[in-house]
Amino acid sequence: QVQLVESGGGLVQAGGSLKLSCAASGSTFSIVAMGWYRQAPGKQRELVAVISSTGSTNYADSVKGRFTISRDNAKNTVYLEMSSLKPEDTAVYYCNTERVLGGIFYDYWGQGTQVTVSS
């Protein structure tokens, strides 16, 4: 099992910045990817950004150029630096990690952290 603990959410004005952190613990070996998803009220959960164990990244079009995902493999921690925040970025942000074991992929989720951007 992998446990994920998120931190860094909060209330910020439009145009502001926030940095989210997610620390993984437990059976962290064989983690191949870590990322962030978000879910706004009444909407489906969507991918925000993901980073592989080799450092390759992928972003949702809506956050490209504004958000940066990074990873500290030694600390098993993933970060999401968010800048130029918009009200439409308001959502619960969930940390996700993907682990492969015996050829089977396992997904783990954090409890979520609220990000609210006021206009």
* Residue 20 burial class via C-beta count within 10 angstroms: exposed 0-12, middle 13-18, buried 19 and up: buried
pLDDT of 1: 87
Q: What is the block-wise mean pLDDT of the chain (119 residues), using blocks of 10 residues?
A: 94 98 90 95 96 95 98 93 98 95 92 97
Q: What pLDDT is stored for residue 29 in this prediction?
A: 83
Q: How far apart are CA 17 and CA 32, in angstroms?
A: 28
Longest dimension (CA), the chain: 48
Q: Which residues pair with 99 in a beta bridge?
A: 31, 106
pLDDT at 27: 84
Rounded Cα gap, residues 85 and 106, in angstroms: 31
Distance CA 94, CA 109 (A): 7
- pLDDT, residue 101, reads 86
